[in-house]
Structure 1
């Protein structure tokens, strides 16, 4: 996916370098994180009342196939 801004292009270069030089698989994902919950008595279980989006970076070694 092409970078939309200079900052995104810089981030992509860093991720590519981590991948090629250090053989790391790096992924950036946006996740929804629950900020507050309450107990819903009608359903008998907790329910989320507010959440926010957070960027999460996952780094793991690449699996080398032989």
Structure 2
């Protein structure tokens, strides 16, 4: 897999994932079962794509946010 995400994109994904985990465990969203699991699943996907540096959706549409890839 080639890298198709830039640093800013990866950092934003990690920040958004952290917010989603907070919402899943530390707010009223945690009371709603389905929203809790949905937030966690989206957070996990965002963390994995940020750590790997490759977004499958970006590959499908031909988008790259990195300068040197």
Would the TM-score normalized by the shorter structure come out above 0.5?
A: no
More helix by share: 2
Q: Which has the larger radius of gyration?
A: 1
More strand by share: 1
Q: Which of the pair has the greater relative contact order for Cα pairs under 8 Å at 6+ separation?
A: 2
